[in-house]
Copies of this chain bind each other. A is one copy, B any other.
Amino acid sequence: MTSSRANDAHLIEFLTDLFGPSRVLCRPHQLAAYECDGYVAQTGLPRAVVFPETTDEVAQVVRYLHEHEVPFLPRGAGTGLSGGAMPRNGEVVISLVRMNKLLRVDFDNLRAVVQPGHVNLQLTRKISAQGYYYAPDPSSQSVCTIGGNLAENAGGSHCLKYGVTTNHIVAAKVVLPTGDVVDIGAEFGDALGYDLLGLVVGSEGTLGIATEITVKILKKPEAVRTALAMFDTVADAADTVTDIIGAGIIPAAIEMMDQLAMQAVDKSNYHVGYPKDIEAVLLIEVDGMAAGLEDVAAEIVHICHKHNVRTVKVAASDEERALWWSSRKMAFGATGRISPDYIVQDGVIPRTKLSQVMARIQQLSEESGLRIANVFHAGDGNLHPLICYDSRVPGQTELATRVGSEILKACVDAGGSITGEHGVGVEKIEEMRYMFDDTDLAAQAAVRQVFNPADLCNAGKLIPKPARCAEVKHMQRLIEQHAEVFRDLEDQTLTLRS
Contact = CB atoms under 8 A, between A and B. Distances in A.
A295 B291 CA distance: 6
A249 B292 CA distance: 14
A487 to B, nearest CB: 10
Interface stretch (A27-35, A60-68, A183-191, A393-401): A183-191
Contact of A195 (B109, B198, B381, B496): B198
Quick one: which of A180, A221, A439, A463 has the most chain B CB within 10 A?
Answer: A439
Interface string A186-229: 11111111111011011100010000000000011110000000
Interface residues of A, number: 111
B348 A189 contact: yes
B475 A481 contact: no
A486 B176 contact: no
A462 interface: yes
A367 interface: no
A221 to B, nearest CB: 7
A474 interface: yes
Contacts of A493: 438-439, 442, 466-467, 475
Interface string A407-448: 000000001111111011000000010011111111110111
B463 A193 contact: yes
A201 B192 CA distance: 11
Given A176-B443, A439-B493, A190 B219 contact: no
A160 interface: no
Contact of A198 (B189, B199, B288, B295): B199
A246 B108 contact: yes
A492 to B, nearest CB: 5
Nearest to A382: B189
Given A109-B350, A351-B108, A482-B486, A192 B424 contact: yes
Nearest to A440: B182
Contacts of A201: 195
A272 interface: no
A406 to B, nearest CB: 18
B451 A443 contact: yes
Contact of A188 (B164, B416, B488): B416
A191 B417 CA distance: 9
A471 interface: yes
A110 B245 contact: yes
A479 interface: yes
Contacts of A381: 188-189
A109 B469 contact: no
A217 to B, nearest CB: 12
Interface in A27-81: none
B196 A202 contact: no
Nearest to A493: B442
A106 B176 contact: no
Contact of A485 (B188, B415, B420, B481): B481
27 contacts: A108-B246, A180-B443, A181-B439, A183-B436, A187-B415, A187-B416, A188-B348, A192-B202, A192-B418, A192-B432, A192-B435, A194-B202, A194-B448, A195-B199, A196-B447, A219-B246, A219-B248, A249-B289, A288-B288, A289-B295, A437-B497, A438-B497, A443-B451, A447-B447, A466-B493, A471-B492, A481-B485
Interface of A: 106, 108-110, 131, 153, 155, 163-164, 166-167, 176, 180-184, 186-196, 198-199, 201-203, 207, 219-222, 242, 245-249, 288-296, 299, 348-352, 380-382, 415-421, 423-424, 432, 435-444, 446-451, 462-463, 466-467, 469, 471-472, 474-475, 478-479, 481-482, 485-486, 488-490, 492-493, 495-497
Which 10 A-B pairs rank lowest in CB-CB distance, beginning with the nearest? A292-B292, A189-B348, A291-B295, A198-B198, A291-B292, A189-B417, A219-B248, A109-B350, A482-B485, A186-B417
